[in-house]
Each structure stands twice: as C-alpha cells, then as structure tokens.
C-alpha cells in the first residue's frame, strides 16, 4: 500500500525557515518509517501545502508533523478535506475538525471527563482576562488561543500585572485556565495510544524558570512508567471520543485536588515521543495495518 505522511516545510532541517524543533520530525520518521515499511506500509513524507501533492495516489494519508497549520487554518482544512475525499485520512476529518478547536474540551467536560476549569472568551482583552481571574478564583492564569498549538500566543499572567503586548496574546477567541503548580513541580504526562491501545508515556518538564514544556522553549522529556490506574484514567478520556483513532495523545496534569486532569487531547498532529517509546514504531505499524484492513 502507498501511505502519505504529511509534514510541513518548516520541519525539514535544510529549509531556510526550519523550526528549532525540526529534529523531532526526524526522530519520529526514524522510528515509524522502518517499522511501517517492514509491515508493507511504506511512508512517503509529503509537505501538506505542496501544490504537487496529490492525495488520490495514496491508499491513506496520515496527518504527521504539520506544525505550521495555525498560520493558514482555512487552507489546511481544505487540503485535509481533499485528502478525505480522495483517499483515507487518518485521523478522520470530522475528528480533526472537532479537535482543531480547543472547545472540544467543553464536550469532554460535559461528557464527564475530568478537565481543568476553563473560562472561554471572544478575545483576550483586559476585561475578559480580569473577569476570568474572579471566575476561576485564581491569582495566576494561563491564556491560550482556541485555535493554536505548541504554546503559540500563550501567556502566563498574574492578577494585577500589566498585560503583555497584543502580539503575544491570542489573536481572537481564547481560553483561560488557572496556572497549576504541578506543571513546574511535577511535569505534564503524555499518554500515547495507537488504535486506542496504550503504547507509552512521556513525562514532560519545563526548563528552570519557565513553565512551557515544549522543546522549542527548552523543555525536556523522560520515559515514565505510569501506574495502571493512571493509564486507565487516560484511556477513559478516549472512551468519550467516537470513531477510529490511529493515534491519540492524552496530556494530563495534576490539578489542585491532587488528581490527574486532561489539559489536551491531541488527535491531529501530535508529537509521538519516540525516544520515550522505544519500539513504538511496530505498535504504530500494527495499528495502521489493523485500521486499513477494515
């Protein structure tokens, strides 16, 4: 079979605008590529917005490290729609569209998943942020865009402090959550599932003096062996999500009550932490093979 693995031009190390974390794409492909090839499912790495990309020549299209889609979300959606129409998109288009906007957390909370308290706003202006401090009952919050990833236009704010420049805040709709000390004291857990089967877990920590756990901000990851109960909590989150899932990453953080809560569920283009999941390429390849056999 012929499988496309979508990435972004900024994830290629020789590109003039390569991101500082381009090497994560290399690590991911180094793990997935040989395993999928051995399973008879070779991956063809393609740039998602390349005019010459033709999804119809592929049996399936996997959304990979497309980490620039926030800059042209409408174009991205149109490309994925074409992939779904002309091939088999993984994860499916309806799931991707639902997951692209962080308002999916509202749905998870409504269905009973344990999430972090969140205030939703039309824009990240002074009035919205000031009201959120009172609604949440916190003296420190994190403001995030509803459409965004990788801590893009995200800000940590203290009550009464001056707001950062507008270009450091969300452009439009925002979500505001209490800052949880566990992110710097303990770290954030990423539970990786392929075809809903647990694969591995990474513990992500920020560099000293920061709270952002992404590698582009100096964050680092360690292999973590979670307790069975924590795996069950992460898997229970996926029980609230219908449909096929080639991959799913459930990011959880310990709340003020000491319990793990969902901070994100990544169903679009998550980094899969191959260094913390040695051998996960075979698990991924088997999940892909099982899904394509249906």
Q: Tell me the per-residue pLDDT of 80-95, one tens digit each, with 9 for 90 and over.
A: 999 999 999 999 999 9
CATH number at residue 166: 3.30.1490
Distance CA 116, CA 103 (A): 13
Indicate whether 204 belongs to any domain. Answer: no
- Per the structure, the count of domains in the chain is 2
pLDDT digits (tens, 9 = 90+) for 171-219: 678 888 888 888 888 899 999 999 999 999 999 988 777 666 777 676 7
The pLDDT of residue 26 is above 70: yes
Radius of gyration (C-alpha) of the chain in whole angstroms: 19
Integer Cα distance of 72 and 81 in angstroms: 14
Residue 172 lies in a domain: yes
pLDDT tier at 150, thresholds 50, 70, 90:
low
Q: Look at residue 132 and tell me if it is in a domain.
A: yes
Residue 15 has pLDDT above 80, yes or no: yes
Report the pLDDT averaged over residues 70-75.
88
Q: Give Cβ neighbours of residue 271 (< 8 Å, ≥ 6 apart).
A: 24, 28, 65, 249
Q: Is residue 123 domain-shared with residue 91, that is, in the same domain?
A: no
Let me know if residue 8 belongs to a domain. Answer: yes
Provide CB contacts within 8 A for 143, sequence distance 6+: 124, 129, 154, 155, 157, 169, 170, 174, 175, 176
- 32 shares its domain with 64: yes
- Whether residue 85 sits in one domain with residue 8: yes
Q: Which domain holds residue 136?
A: 119-179
25 & 73 share domain: yes
User: To the nearest whole percent, how much of the chain has pLDDT over 90?
Assistant: 62
Name the pTM for this structure.
0.89
Tell me how many degrees the CA angle 4-294-190 measures, rounded to the nearest 5: 60
Q: Which of 97, 131, 163 is the last residue of a domain?
A: 97
| Dihedral angle sign, alpha carbons of residues 121, 127, 129, 130 | negative
Domain limit, last residue, from 149, 179, 209: 179
Binned at pLDDT 50, 70 and 90, residue 115 comes out as: very high
Higher pLDDT, 253 or 147: 253
pLDDT over threshold 80, residue 99: yes
- 115: which 2 tokens? 């999430």
């Amino acid at each position: 079979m012929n499988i496309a693995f979508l990435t972004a031009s900024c994830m290629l190390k020789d590109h003039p605008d390569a991101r500082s974390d381009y090497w994560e794409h290399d690590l991911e492909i180094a793990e997935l590529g040989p395993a999928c090839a051995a399973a008879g499912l070779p991956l063809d790495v393609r740039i998602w917005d390349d005019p010459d990309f033709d999804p119809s020549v592929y049996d399936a299209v996997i959304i990979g490290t497309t980490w620039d889609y926030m800059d042209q979300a409408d174009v991205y959606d149109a490309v994925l729609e074409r992939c779904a129409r002309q091939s088999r998109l993984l994860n499916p288009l309806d799931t991707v569209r639902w997951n692209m906007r962080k308002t999916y957390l509202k749905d998870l909370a409504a269905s009973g998943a344990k999430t972090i308290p969140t205030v939703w706003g039309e824009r990240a202006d002074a009035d919205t942020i000031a009201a959120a401090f009172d609604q949440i009952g916190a003296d420190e919050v994190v403001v995030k865009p509803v459409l965004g990833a990788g801590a893009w236009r995200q800000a940590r704010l203290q009550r009464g402090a001056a707001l950062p420049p507008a270009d450091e805040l969300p452009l439009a709709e925002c979500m505001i959550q209490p800052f949880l000390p566990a992110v710097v004291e303990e770290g954030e857990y990423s539970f990786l599932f392929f075809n809903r089967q647990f694969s591995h877990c990474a513990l992500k920590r920020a560099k000293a003096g920061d709270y952002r756990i992404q590698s582009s901000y100096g964050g680092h990851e360690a292999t973590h062996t979670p307790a069975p109960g924590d795996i069950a909590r992460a898997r229970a989150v996926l029980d609230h999500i219908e449909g096929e899932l080639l991959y799913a990453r459930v990011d959880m953080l310990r709340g003020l009550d000491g319990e793990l809560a969902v901070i994100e569920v990544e169903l679009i283009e998550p980094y899969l932490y191959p260094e913390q999941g040695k051998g996960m390429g075979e698990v991924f390849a088997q999940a892909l093979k099982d899904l394509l056999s249906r």
